[in-house]
Homo-oligomer: A and B are copies of this chain.
Amino acid sequence: MIELFHAEPASNSLKVLLCLKEKGVDFKSRVVDIQAFEQHEPWFLEINPDGQVPALVHDGAVITESTVINEYLDHVFPEVPLRPLDALECARMRVFTKYVDEYFRPALSQIGWQLMIHTITDKLAPAEFEAKLARIPREEKREKWRISAAQGYTPEQMAAWRRTLEEGVGKAEAALARGPWLAGEHYSLADIAFFAMAANMPARFGDFMNETASPRVMDWHRRMHARPAVKAALAVPSPVKKAG
């Protein structure tokens, strides 16, 4: 019995939804309303003390961290393999998923957060916001929320994160020169990790993600959107409204 605690089908939540749908694994969808800070409520902290979605519960055992969850799912449901059997291609996959976790996703998240935090915080009185903040387990995250909600990050910081996104698209473009998928010959968790972040990026970052600057990435992006599992993952119901 698999339960997935997740937010709307985007970012790290989408990453695990894409893996489950690709593998055709049945699961119970448990939506956590992150715009209402539900991930920091006591009931959820009992599941994941880090206060982060997604979290997978498999026969009572909790697995956290979307990248680890997807490796776990490939371990226990190997029928549709999403890790290349070739050791070198598998290492390329992991270098890519690690890059997404450590650079690409944080940059995208910082930019998105700055743009949307006021649609969340403007509904709250200052004392209410402080109370919500106080429940965030990690100090670094409390700080990120506080800065975004108050003065906001500087244009220089926002520009640096945009450069990281452009760099990431460049890395994907280079990787796709080697084969049809990001790790090489086989569709893998690298494609899933990058797409979970990049699904809507051409519309938002068309200045560097377009047919001229990154033609292979744009072709890959269309092939991704055409996959039935990708359509199914993006269609997973979520009551959470997007900002803007």
Chain A positions within 8 Å of B, measured between CB atoms, are: 58, 61, 63-65, 67-69, 71-72, 75-76, 87-88, 90-91, 94-95, 98, 101-102, 139, 160, 163
Contact = CB atoms under 8 A, between A and B. Distances in A.
A98 B50 CA distance: 14
Given A63-B88, A101-B102, A160-B139, A95 B75 contact: no
Contacts of A76: 87
A108 to B, nearest CB: 15
Nearest to A86: B75
A91 B63 contact: yes
Copies, count? 2
Nearest to A59: B88
A75 B102 CA distance: 23
B94 A68 contact: yes
Contact of A98 (B67, B75, B90, B91): B67
Contact of A65 (B69, B98, B139, B163): B98
Given A64-B95, A139-B160, A163-B139, A87 B102 contact: no
Contacts of A67: 94, 98
Contact of A95 (B65, B94, B160): B65
A48 B46 CA distance: 42
A160 B91 CA distance: 33
Contact of A75 (B72, B87, B160): B87
B102 A90 contact: no
Nearest to A87: B75
Nearest to A93: B68
- Of the candidates A64, A71, A91, A102, the one having the most CB atoms from chain B within 10 angstroms of its own CB is A91
Contacts of A160: 139
A94 B75 contact: no
A160 B71 CA distance: 31
Contacts of A69: 91
